[in-house]
Amino acid sequence: MHDAFTVATYNVHGGVDSWGRPVDAAGDAASLGADVTLLQENWVDAEGSSVARSLGTLVGGSVHEVALAHGRRGLPHPEAGSDWHRHRAFLDGDHALYVDSELPLRGRLAASDRFADAEEGSWGIAIVSRLEVRAVRVLDLGRRRRDRAHRRVLVVQIAAPGGEVEIACVHMSHLIHGSPGQIRLLGRTLGGRAAARGATVLGGDMNCWSPPLRALLPGWQRAAIGPTWPTWRPHSQLDHLLVGHRLRVLDGTIAQAQASDHLPVVATLALR
């Protein structure tokens, strides 16, 4: 439809798999065909290259990035297997992304050659837009004591078909780190009920299941429903696109992708 536009959210795991092998996260994201793509775990290396900038080149879009933490990205593991994920990663914490600026690594992993040899960079969120971006702002959500990142919200005002739309990208703390209070703060920071009733899209890796998220952020429409994590056997929806009521959801889906442990969420929207 000529008056519609498409938004996607995708956690790209820094452009590597759990073994540290490069994956085509930008190509995966480009294949979604979105006008606006929200990225989480966007990795920016020391030279300034990133998943978001690669995606911007592929789709001809403007790129807006915000760092949530700094750290290191592991090189390919010498014993890499055929699976995307390391089964031992849930035991030893080695997912190839070592985010340590807000909460230093300790123990065996911090003393390992894998960590010492890893490349330095920043880890954060980004928005890539093929539509005109008229304003950009960054909102501060603070940091939880056990969290490895300082959480922020990246918000862009875009010229969508029919009028202006505000789109916000987040990557929230885990529930075990006390994120419910932070999610409530997110709702208030975006404008509370006014945002939920307006032409606003809130998307990202919420690290939260749908029932508590609906309770913490009342009034928003969910654009797509379905499990997004982990990719190889999805059982939980951690990734969400929430839409204000001035926007109609024409189509919403959990897309298939191979580059990450998260599946993307894609929605086609139109102003009412």
pLDDT along the chain (272 residues), means of 10: 90 97 98 98 97 98 98 94 88 90 92 94 98 98 94 98 97 91 94 95 96 95 97 97 98 96 98 95
Closest residue by Cα to residue 100 from 126, 68, 134, 127: 68
Count of positions (residues) in the chain: 272
Q: Which residues contact 70 (CB under 8 A, 6 or more apart)?
A: 99, 100, 101, 120, 121, 122, 123
Strand order through the sheet with 239-243: 133-142, 151-160, 163-171, 200-205, 239-243, 221-222
By three-state DSSP, how is residue 138 classified? strand
Whole-structure pTM value: 0.97
Q: Which domain holds residue 104?
A: 4-271
Give the pLDDT of residue 240: 98
Give the pLDDT of residue 241: 98
CA distances from 43 to 50, 54, 146, 191 (A): 5, 11, 21, 29
CATH of the domain at 259: 3.60.10.10
Give the pLDDT of residue 262: 98
How many domains in the chain?
A: 1
Closest residue by Cα to residue 16 from 223, 261, 255: 261
Give the pLDDT of residue 1: 58
CA distances from 131 to 103, 160, 197 (A): 37, 7, 23
Closest residue by Cα to residue 83 from 268, 267, 261, 262: 261
